Structure 1
């Protein structure tokens, strides 16, 4: 191995996350093996065509890892959580033009992926997505495979174990997914809370023996049929997740009373969700390039939450919730002359929650929310250099809380994009969006929870809907060995939700207010260098500034940088990444300081067997996260040292057995966590 390469790997190796979303095969594209002579990343009018190299495919074991190995400028991939982030936001995932789940992309076999279409200006059937990563894969008509993989952590209890099986027969595909995961990191924390009453009270907490365990299990199955004209899919399953966040040993001290109150810090917290789900999908392509698509995604969740804080008396939260979620989406795409098109979209969201609060503050809450959206998307192209997208629409929001009047809000929506490509390697893009949203479910209620001897948390059913607007600009350069991206965007939200703290004699009431304005500015510079096919380097740097006024008053600015590199050598690969310490604003008020982190990984892959060894933050034990929250009548400062942020290693082994003719690997199914309106 060349010494210069070795030095570069040692100093710069740090892989970064990448964002993935959609592309459509509804245009009747023939999926054949791609033989590339030229650029592997090529700018088209409204998307970037990304063709992975054989080594990038060989040393990836999921669709997320493949996009990460490709190192697209401005795109970051969190393969562990299944998230691809772009300058426009989180990318939506597709396989051959059909919307895909995180599990499907996680278990997608890279050697079956012909290319990835990255839509940074989604139009047509993707018009309602912020960005799209569409995986174009081979389709097979017979055979199948079964795959098992297991990841085991070293340093604390962490494991992820999965079984995936797929069989194809003619136009039909049957998939089965099953698996479980567990993690139980140790956490040490200490915090100081000031309740600024007429007679101020200070609460000092520490915990040095914790039990923070989360367990998840799932079983899912799907059947689908794909022809040149029609695609349909039926998928269903059940997921069970349990977690506990217990403080077994620690100290709790109140000062400000006549004499200090000293207790052992003892908190028992339990969460459990049982969630059966169902997903239906149908797509029909017509002559002349017209297409119709509809989907129904729904689940029912039985959520239980229990929290017991023991001081000189017990403060108990005990909530049972029945939660129903439905999302219906339909669109019709109509091609127009000169490669222009018109798309009509209708979207409906329905959420119903029934919460029974027991314990210290019993109550019964029923909340029904719905959102109806209608959009018309018009795309106009002038050759291969200019494109304009105009997307007007309307939104109707409604929510009804038991015992309260129904709240409705009818508002316009508007989104426009403009792209100019002066040369095939360059693109300048301008964006503007106007939207609206209603308050989050767990704040719009009349429930009340006693947190400790001073603090009472209470919902607010009378908050206003929010208006959002955001202009943005992106400039990209793509050459054979290097690429770069410069992005700037601004986001404004009126009637953002903030925590407010009201005095009530010797109690402090924590409730919510929508009398808040939220501003966020972001600047991102990203560059990728690929001097040879075996060695890739990527760097991201940026600046973020937050400004919150009204019910909350916050200012926060932060610079950050990330560096990553991959090196491929036959059956082996090495990668590394690092991220500087940074600050972030959660919600409108909570400041979080994240520590510096880095990771190293080595992988061996041969045939259907692969072994990956990963180490995160080796030789580090003192990494801590710090939190601060300052509001009128309330202050909080805390720090937490967790095994999640310090030295950790894992080993992952994956093996697949093919039978019959080879097929594209079945996706490992994973749906999003169930929502909840529980006030915690």
Structure 2
């Protein structure tokens, strides 16, 4: 796939407002030094340095500066990933997205608990768990806006996030939109086929076409905390992905024939997925605890694919695929466990 796009400029606007109430106690002539990493049986406790916190714009940037092993932080897509495996993110023990991590203020992150061999309690197929342990604020909040746009074509990566604390309650919101449009996009390909009668080659010469893609995700969150004994978290997520047109026309040539075949390969896809996640945690007597997680998801998919090969306007291959699906995913889990 080759894409030709002329980029002549980039506008980046960053706006950040913090309002937190903090108490500082000065100790004269006292210096305390401690290791930034504490190793335990099942995890590592990694503490960010003052310099890392000072230089970081948000929780995602702080994660990148901490250089955690085997992890890759992409500031453009606001994501945390690894080469071969799955990464699970949590904030104070609750499942979270990379956008929620990005919405964290670096000053609020006390430590990151790094699990490189997580147990079954985190689910199957999870290779690394990052749990961000934060400071619990009782007042104040923060607001951040990060806008990135191209001047001469449609390309955007906009991120808005905010948090407000009042007493034992915390309200937060994060929204990320990423999209692009290419006026010239095509694909060249060479294929070699082996048959009982011999070998032949087919080449695909791409014809310039359009390409457009739009991605948007938003999370609204509320949690209520009472010391370490009681925790309630309610999260509303919305996912939107629009791929309205991907035209991939081309000319096909066969080494066994002098004829040229016209290829039309079009894709169109629209996906929306709202979800509600409720999490409740409470300590019980005798070093027991109860965790209840209720998740409800509605997924709507509309996907269409057209593939057609024509020789002198006569169809040789004509395939049309349409997927129109609506699914509901209810899940309720209640687990009593030892502390």
Q: Smaller-chain TM-score range? A: 0.7 to 0.9
- Offset of residue 127 of structure 1: 7.4
Q: Deviations over 1:267-316 (max 9, x none)?
A: 22111112221111111122443222121333222111112234323432
Change (3 A) 1:198 1:247: farther
Superposed, which structure 2 residues align to 1:218-233 within 5 Å?
218-228=217-227, 229-233=229-233
Native 8 Å contact 2:206 2:250 kept in 1: yes
State the Cα distance separating 1:176 from its structure 2 match: 2.9
Alpha-carbon contact 2:305-2:320 (below 8 Å) kept = yes
Q: 1:196, CA displacement in angstroms?
A: 4.5
Q: Distance in 1 between matches of 2:300 and 2:179?
A: 21
Number of residue equivalences: 300
Q: Against the structure 1 CA distance between its residues 86 and 330, is the aligned structure 2 distance closer, same or farther, given a 3 Å change threshold?
A: farther
Q: Could you say which residue in structure 2 is the equivalent of 1:463?
A: none
Does the CA-based 8 Å contact 1:141-1:169 persist in structure 2? yes
Please list every run of 5 or more consecutive structure 2 residues that lacks an aligned counterpart in the other structure.
1-23, 26-30
Please state how far the C-alpha of 1:156 moved relative to its aligned partner.
6.4
Alignment of 1:523-538 (within 5 A): none
Counterpart CA distance in 1 for 2:203 and 2:146 is 44
* Corresponding position of 1:151: 148
Which runs of 5 or more residues in structure 1 are unaligned? 1-31, 336-680
| C-alpha spacing 1:49/1:253, structure 2 compared with 1 (3 Å) | same
Structure-2 change in CA distance of 1:86 and 1:254 (3 Å): closer
Give 1:322-471 correspondences, 5 Å limit: 322-335=326-339
CA shift, 1:205, in A, is 1.2
- Residue 67 of structure 2 is matched in structure 1 by 71
Q: Distance in 1 between matches of 2:151 and 2:50?
A: 32
Shift of 1:201: 6.4
Matches within 5 A, 1:254-653: 254-256=254-256, 259-312=257-310, 313=315, 314-335=318-339
Query: 1:207 matched to which residue of 2?
Result: 206
The TM-score with structure 2 as length reference comes to 0.76
1:132 is the counterpart of 2:141: no
**RCO higher in structure (CA 8 A, sep ≥6):** 1
1:190 aligned to 2:194? no
How far off its partner does 1:57 sit? 1.4
Per the alignment, in what secondary structure is the counterpart of residue 55 of structure 1? helix
For 1:154 and 1:201, the matched residues in 2 are separated by 46
SS of the counterpart of 1:311? strand
2:252 matches 1:252: yes
Distance 2:200 2:299 in 1: 39
Residue 109 of structure 2 is matched in structure 1 by 113
The answer to whether structure 1 residue 236 and structure 2 residue 252 are counterparts is: no
1:283 and 1:169 map into 2 onto residues whose CA distance is 20
Q: Matched residues in 2 for 1:269 and 1:86: separation?
A: 28
What is the rounded CA distance, in whole Å, between the counterparts of 1:332 and 1:155 in structure 2?
A: 57
Q: Secondary structure at the match of 2:65?
A: helix
2:42 aligned counterpart, secondary structure: coil
Q: CA deviation at 1:194?
A: 4.2
Q: Tell me the equivalent position of 1:412.
A: none
Partners of 2:36 and 2:47 within 8 A in 1: yes
Per-residue CA deviation, residues 108-155 of structure 1 (Å, 9 max, x unaligned), is 111211111212343595476533211111111223333221123579
Q: Which runs of 4+ in 1 moved over 6 A?
A: none
CA displacement, residues 158-185 of structure 1 (integer Å, 9 cap, x when unaligned): 3111322332222222223334220235
Q: Which residue of 1 aligns with 2:88?
A: 92
CA distance in 1, matches of 2:155, 2:280: 38
Secondary structure (helix, strand or coil) at the match of 2:60 reads helix
Secondary structure in 1 matching 2:163: strand
SS at match of 1:238: strand
SS across alignment from 1:139: coil
Of 34, 39, 63, the match for 2:35? 39
Question: Aligned-residue CA RMSD in angstroms?
Answer: 3.1
* Per-residue deviation, 1:263: 3.0
- Structure 2 distance, partners of 1:265, 1:36, is 70
Q: Where does residue 569 of structure 1 map in the other structure? A: none
